[in-house]
Amino acid sequence: RVASVYSEVQNSRLDHHLPLPSVLRKPFKVVDGPASSAAGHPEEIAKLFPCLYGQPSAALVPDDSGDVAMGQSLKIGVVLSGGQAPGGHNVISGIFDYLQDHCKGSTLYGFRGGPAGIMKCKYVVLTPEYIYPYRNQGGFDMICSGRDKIETPEQFKQAEETAQKLDLDGLVVIGGDDSNTNACLLAENFRSKNLKTRVIWMS
């Protein structure tokens, strides 16, 4: 994408700085909360997700110590899943900015074409220059999306191989409720295989 052909409105949005939540403007820490549960049918859900069900919830709280700790470098994958939505590009931009500011030396991989990009290990390493034209712009076209699902044993195996090949610390799935289900199944699979990759869903 070339920003030089943008309209006046698009250009005005490019450098617009969105406000951060107050907890992210200052040092914070992650604390464990109550065990996770389900809104309904908890016994059935627990059987389907034996590795994930009942894990403690997590919350970000201000860290009054005043220390701004620099995190270790991370390798994170992001994937856009499902139909077009206005906020996907800024989710990726926000992850990139946080890694740049707080986890020096990190790498952010963008899987192309949705979940199929994970299975086929098709990705682009995201850089400031690559991300810039998409900041504050709608759509899912930075790395493109897709409606593929990771659900068969062979597909799970392909996803495992990609996570191990890239040595991923985390994988962020950006999409709607159906993508959430797919992310949960993938997270359960990774945990059952003792992979270090943490799967996170963003909507």
Structural domain that includes position 195: 70-203
What digits encode the pLDDT tens for the residues 5-34?
Answer: 899 999 999 989 888 888 888 888 999 999
What digits encode the pLDDT tens for the residues 39-53?
Answer: 999 999 999 999 999
Position 41 in a domain: yes
Residues 30 and 107 in one domain: no
Residues 65 and 94 in one domain: no
Residues 53 and 118 in one domain: no
**CATH number of the domain encompassing residue 80:** 3.40.50.450
Q: How many independent structural domains does the chain possess?
A: 2
Q: What is the 3-state secondary structure (H, E, C) of the chain?
A: CCHHHCCHHHHHHHCCCCCCCHHHCCCEEEEEEEECCCCCCHHHHHHHCCCCCCCEEEEEEECCCCCCCCCCCCEEEEEECCCCCCCHHHHHHHHHHHHHHHCCCCEEEEECCCHHHHHHCCEEECCHHHHHHHCCCCCCCCCCCCCCCCCCHHHHHHHHHHHHHCCCCEEEEECCHHHHHHHHHHHHHHHHCCCCCEEEEEC
What digits encode the pLDDT tens for the residues 100-156?
Answer: 999 999 999 999 999 999 999 999 999 999 999 999 999 899 999 999 999 999 999
**Entry pTM:** 0.93
Residues 61 and 119 in one domain: no
